[in-house]
Each structure stands twice: as C-alpha cells, then as structure tokens.
Amino acid sequence: MEHSAYATKAYDHESLALIRLVAGLLGVESAQDAVIRALLYERGLSRVASYGVGVAEVTAHISELRNELGRRGVKDEGLVVAPGEGPEGQTVGNIIAGDRYSLAYDRTPEEILGIVYGTGSPAQAGGFFPQGADGRIARGLLM
C-alpha cells in the first residue's frame, strides 16, 4: 500500500528534490510489492490450511477489506481478477496491481489511515496503531 501513498504525494509537491525522493521511494516500494505478489501468485492455488481457502482467495479478501476501509472505490485487487478487470482488461493474472491503464493506484493520507487503523476512519485509531499514528497528518485527523 505504501506505493499508493507515494504516488499521491508526488503530485502534491513541486520541489524537484522531493519529486526525485518520492519517485525513488515509489520505485523501491513497487518492486518490493511486485516480488511479494509474484511469490504469492506462484502459490495462488495452494490451500491455506488455517483458513480453508487458497492463497489467491486470501489476497482477494484482503484487497476487498482494504477497499472497504479506504472508502474510495477499488484501489486494491487480489492476485486473480475477473476477465476484463485485469491489467488493461487483457488478463486475469494480477501480479502488479494497477488501474485500468496499469498505473499505480493513489490513496490519500485519510484513506491510508482508515486502512491501517482498521476502522475506515482517519479519526478513529485502532488496528496497527491502537493509540493512533504519531505523524503530523495523523495527529491532525484524530478526534
């Protein structure tokens, strides 16, 4: 999810140095995401014993939850999608998640906080940050 935050941030600032930094971070985060998704894709049909479903289905459920908590439509997809919904509408395999033009999804800070808090709200702490995140943006949004 980090790469979606960087994609949004790159458009918010005009400083060339900051754009270079964000672009570099975006590249690294995207590469890491692709490696993890490729490894999961290889195991897509393998059953996750504790859940009784396959790896691909688990990733679909995680993506659905992140979309629900983000509250801004589809900005995350599992490893396998319906025909026509994959990259550029050409495939059902979905190692590199992106929009219909194969561009990185963007998320606002509010969307990201709603997801990592697990509450869907940037003003209601929980999830990975039970006491709330401690950055300037997060502090400004918490009730």
> What would the pLDDT profile of 18-60 be if each residue is shown by its tens digit?
788 888 888 888 889 999 999 999 999 999 999 999 999 999 9
Residue 114 and residue 96 share a domain: no
The whole-number average pLDDT for the span 62-71 is: 95
Residue 116 and residue 131 share a domain: yes
Residue 36 and residue 22 share a domain: yes
pLDDT value at 9 more than 80:
no
Residue 137 and residue 98 share a domain: no
In sequence order, which residues have a C-beta less than 8 Å from that of residue 97 and are 6 or more positions away? Answer: 33, 37, 63, 76, 77, 105
The whole-number average pLDDT for the span 111-127 is: 94
pTM for the complete prediction?
Answer: 0.77
Query: Considering its fold, how many domains does the chain have in total?
Result: 2
Q: Mean pLDDT score of the chain, rounded to an integer?
A: 85
Residue 143 and residue 84 share a domain: no
User: Which tokens sit at 134?
Assistant: 């401690």
Residue 64 and residue 16 share a domain: yes
Residue 77 and residue 128 share a domain: no
Residue 112 and residue 102 share a domain: no
Return phi, psi of residue 123, to 5°.
-100, 0
Report the SS3 class of residue 30: helix
pLDDT score of 7: 54
* Alpha carbon distance 122, 112 (integer Å): 8
Domain residues for the domain of 137 are 108-143
Choose between 11 and 26: higher pLDDT: 26
Q: What is the pLDDT of residues 83-105, one digit of tens each?
A: 887 777 778 888 888 877 878 88
